[in-house]
Structure 1
């Protein structure tokens, strides 16, 4: 637990709840008028991590009077100890995600492997039967499709996936795809990502560094399969419709999604490795993670602060962040990104 110094100079223990973390991420991406009863906002203000204005401080044409609709203009106040704590929370969550994913596959390993359904869990062959069931479910999806795909997928498979996803995505069905980081070096995967994300912000793809099982959730039906490296269960799958078990698997998927980094279909770099960052932006991010100001980093790199700002703005655009101050969402992405391991 990290201690933060309050405005009066005292120190209090600091933690962030899930609601507070979500609220801080939201206002950091774009300060805005929000209902005062939005979960997490009051806690952020009490901890000195957000300020509530009666007006937009960036718009001096507005009168300095609070609105009468129960909203205030919320602005983030992130600090270095906050980013330290968020890094620790991210790493702890990564460990928790790995443990829960392992627990999930361990549970299915205890189930009898025979055809038929029992209590909303049905054993099946992971070949054609499961594939056709997934395709039918996706084509008839009403709300959202969530998939975690840890294994290599052939070019023809990805072309077929993009084809049968076209109709539900055109109807506005949300897509949340997770893939391992090594897929970024596969041209057919980049083509798939560019194709599905072109339908709009309701179609998103991310990459996750930690190992995970194959999960396909369509509305309230789930297919789960252990395709992790070293697994002997590549031909084994389970269809899950039990509401409690689907909810548990969905919770694990959402944790995995929170830990994953965005992917828009990268363009290969000069070194043949597809990344969001280059040597300069990684140097800037490492300096900021070490609590250095942009002026100090600029001096060390012998460039202007304007140059650093332009580099960060270009990175934000690649990550899909809106124009403006993105220190918090960019920092959250960096502390969980595998690109930290790229040197220099």
Structure 2
């Protein structure tokens, strides 16, 4: 389905689906409200048919019915994705064609490989890019993996890839949130890996980060992690390595030898982390998101914290947290 067409016969100005004309928007909205519009009404807006927003009623061709917006959007995005794939395939073929020609031209004019920052769209392509980079890696994988509700299958799917890396003599260091210290899927993953793999945890971590052999890094470029950025710029990769090393220094060992965090005056480490965010004025939902917990669990911990400190209200709880000294204990432990 083309993104842009010319409708000279109808006098309709050409435009893309992302710039739907006002007449098209109005007619499509009317079709959605009424369930259908007459074919004659759509003569002046052929874009609605071409973009798949209206389709003929099979039982009566005098009418057009609207395609649900979610369905139409999915089709249009799929077409965009297909074009991107085709362009990338064309890019690969061009590189392959000119590679042999550049060899004939000799090293005199062959350009040096340039450091790059590349956007990768789609989970499948992201995983493929990571797998291809890991296949050539031999030294070290640094990973930060925030909680995102992944199931056992998705947590385990990279097990073979990482084991092959360890078998080549590589080293893996991973940082998770404290909430995953007892996750069956995470624990099982590292129990199955053989080699130099080490895991630590923190209350809060930054977004997902992979650094491979300290030369290539992958970070998310969208909140749903369906778009990623592949970084091969040495200065930026070195900066991300420094960020990882700082977090690794503050993190608590989990595997292969776990270090248990102590309670302070009957208040658990998780409750101290929640207390720190409460003092900063965060909502229960924001606290849950930052600590990788669900809101119900956060509220249970807040209730226990209030009972331990003898608080009778949310406002009083903040005051009692400040007086208790538990946040100073949390800061000392992180240092």
Query: TM-score scaled to structure 1, two decimals?
Result: 0.41
Greater Cα radius of gyration, structure 1 or 2: 2
Higher RCO structure (Cα 8 Å, ≥6 apart):
1
TM-score (norm 2): 0.42
